[in-house]
Amino acid sequence: MSYLDKTIIEINKALKEGKTTPKELFEQSIERAKKYQNKYNSFVTITDKYEEKEYNFNNKLAGIPCAIKDNFSTKGIRTTGSSNILDNYVPVFDATAVKKLKENQINIVGKTVLDELAMGGTGTTGYTGVVKNPYDITRQAGGSSGGSAAAVASGIVPFALGSDTGDSVRKPASLCGLVGFKPTWGRISRFGLFPFAPSLDHVAYFTRSVEDSAVILESLAGQDYNDYTSSNKKVEKYYENLNKDLKGKKLVVIKEIIDSVYDNKVIACFNKSLDELEKCGAVIEYQSVDEKLLKAIYPTYMVISCAEATSNNANLDGIKFGNRQDGASIDEVMFNTRTKGFGEFIKRRFVLGSYALAKQNQEKLFLRAQKVRRLIVEKVNDLLKEYDAIVLPASGDVAPRFDSQSEKLSDNYLIAENHLAIANFAGLPSITIPMGKKEGLPIGINITGRLFDEQTTLNIAYALESKLGYKNMMGGNK
Ligand code: GLN
């Protein structure tokens, strides 16, 4: 037995009682990271350096090992974004989220694999190879924060940092049996997180319990003068205020999204979850949203995110930093650097984004997508005037196999596998937790709350987790 198999709250108790030490946890974590690297490929970099310090275990995060997605700047630790173009990039500063974790005496064990520059949902496009699902290595861990998900689900760390632009934490959380949380846009500073599409980007993270998720939010949230979009709203006592009593809470299920979920087991687990939520006192109702709007989520997301991505990644040219290629002129250097440095999937996205931003197309594509985004956000905010949260299956099925040939443009797929992006369009707090298993593989449920109402969102998840008992889940053989 290792205390690494426990939740943060439990580890903290063991640390206080002297049953384990931060050094022992760190060493066990590194040992597992190395041992599983061939199997799951969670890490780009494993950091061997441990520095002894005076720990204060009244802080629940003190001495806890954690992993960081490799698109957060870490001072002195190579940060690649899982892109060849940044293969040799060592940042000179820490992202605010990383800085805050360090202030809370967390120990970083490594940087995790992502889909290249966070643009993907499979965990297969990072330049150091494919991430595998700890529940079944013939399947995807999901993405883009796949390495972080696999590290937590395989018991290497009890918590890992990720980022979520469309669903990149909440979807892999579903596929790997984890709690994945993205709070309100602006709740956590994005300073030092590589921008993909800043109007949609969120700092997010994986844990194996809702309590742990609440503890981490307290340490990461807050205003930051390095990110002027970070909110000055007071940081609440999310952990202390966790409450399983949902009396008076009204939840809504979007009918057309449920109708698009094709897997019977997912539906059965979801219905059971709704029953449990009712037992906790919540009232659940179904409401309709125009199917046209729901089918528009994916194209709208692609146009906006690719447009922002092409502009935000223009700095990756090999001139100031990164993996520079030779060339006879500065133009040729940039051309060769980008040609060699980027993988084919993100090149396609840059083409798409540049096309949408081209003067002659802007009105028809980019501005139109902004308008559709607005319509979706208005519809969801209308629902949230009446309801405290939206509950839905996080995914239509379990983790796909690497060779799966799903029909990505079918109406069902478009809706069931892309609706999590609604919370990015609207900046809403949104959490995925496990709600069951199908043939041993995890299935997740998603809860999306009102702006800055992290507490209610966490409380609903907390109540449901305690009823269902899917807590501290791990896959694989440790
Ligand atoms: N899967 C989505 C995409 O391909 C989301 C990515 C993300 O949230 N970073 O872009």
Whether residue 164 has its Cβ less than 6 Å from ligand 1 = yes
For ligand 1, the distance from its centroid to the CA atom of residue 436, given in whole angstroms, is 24
Q: Which secondary-structure segment (H or E) carries 229?
A: none
Mutate to test the pocket of ligand 1, among 83, 165, 408, 418 (most ligand atoms within 8 A of CB): 165
Write down the pLDDT at residue 49: 87
Judged by average pLDDT, the poorest of 48-57, 91-100, 240-249, 286-295 is 48-57
Give the CATH class of 1-478: alpha beta
| Residues known to be catalytic | 69, 144, 168
Percent of the chain with pLDDT over 90: 97
* Ligand 1 pocket residue status of 166, Cβ below 6 Å: yes
Looking at residue 247, its amino acid is K
pLDDT digits (tens, 9 = 90+) for 104-135: 999 999 999 999 999 999 999 999 999 999 99
**C-alpha 331 to ligand 1 mean position (Å):** 30
Task: Output the residue whose Cα is nearest ligand 1's atom 4.
Answer: 120
| Per-residue model confidence as pLDDT tens digits over 390-416 | 999 999 999 999 998 888 889 999 999
- Please report the DSSP string for 399-437 in residue order: PPBTT----TTSHHHHHHTTGGGHHHHHT--EEEEEEEE
Task: State which of 70, 72, 83, 115 you would mutate to test the pocket of ligand 1, scoring each by most atoms of that ligand within 8 A of its C-beta.
Answer: 115
Atom of ligand 1 nearest to the CA of 145: 9
pLDDT in tens, 418-470: 999 999 999 999 999 999 999 999 999 999 999 999 999 999 999 999 999 99
Query: Mean pLDDT over residues 237-248, rounded?
Result: 98
pTM: 0.98
pLDDT at 477: 57
| Angle, helices 96-103/210-220, rounded to nearest 10 degrees | 110
pLDDT above 80: residue 478: no
274, 253 Cβ separation under 8 angstroms: yes
